[in-house]
């Protein structure tokens, strides 16, 4: 099994599923439409970069445009893996206290 290592300022994000449910309680498969955002967890960043240049950290949940980034091949049937630049991230999920 191979592992993806981001380089050249890229961030590796594992997509997280949105749970959509119909009125009758049927769970709908992820359907992405123009203007939608993906939700994903940062699982890697390129090495050799100054820690201070990143405003996001590994483990944070972020939102990014459907058409940004590069999809990576994977055997994972539950999630996709996307390589993207930090400027492609639209928002970071914050825990409310």
Domain 1-19+37-97: which CATH number of 3.20.20.70, 2.40.170.20, 2.30.33.40, 3.40.470.10: 2.30.33.40
| pLDDT tens, per residue, the chain with 97 residues | 467 888 888 999 998 876 566 667 665 555 556 667 889 999 998 875 555 567 888 999 999 987 888 988 877 777 789 999 989 999 999 877 7
User: Long-range contacts made by residues 42-46, C-beta under 8 angstroms, separation at least 24?
Assistant: 42/11, 42/12, 42/13, 43/12, 43/13, 43/14, 43/81, 44/4, 44/5, 44/6, 44/11, 44/12, 45/6, 45/10, 45/11, 45/12, 46/5, 46/6, 46/7, 46/8, 46/9, 46/10, 46/11
Domain boundaries, the chain: 1-19+37-97
pTM as predicted: 0.75
């Amino acid at each position: 099994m191979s592992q993806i290592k981001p380089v050249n300022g890229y961030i590796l994000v594992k997509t997280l599923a949105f749970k959509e449910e119909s009125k009758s309680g049927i769970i709908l498969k992820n359907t992405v439409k123009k203007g939608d955002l993906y939700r994903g967890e940062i699982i890697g960043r390129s090495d050799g970069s100054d820690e201070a240049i990143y405003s996001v950290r590994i483990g944070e949940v972020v939102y990014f445009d459907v058409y940004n980034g590069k999809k990576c091949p994977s055997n994972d049937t539950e999630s996709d893996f996307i390589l993207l630049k930090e400027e492609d991230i639209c928002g970071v999920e914050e825990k409310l206290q």
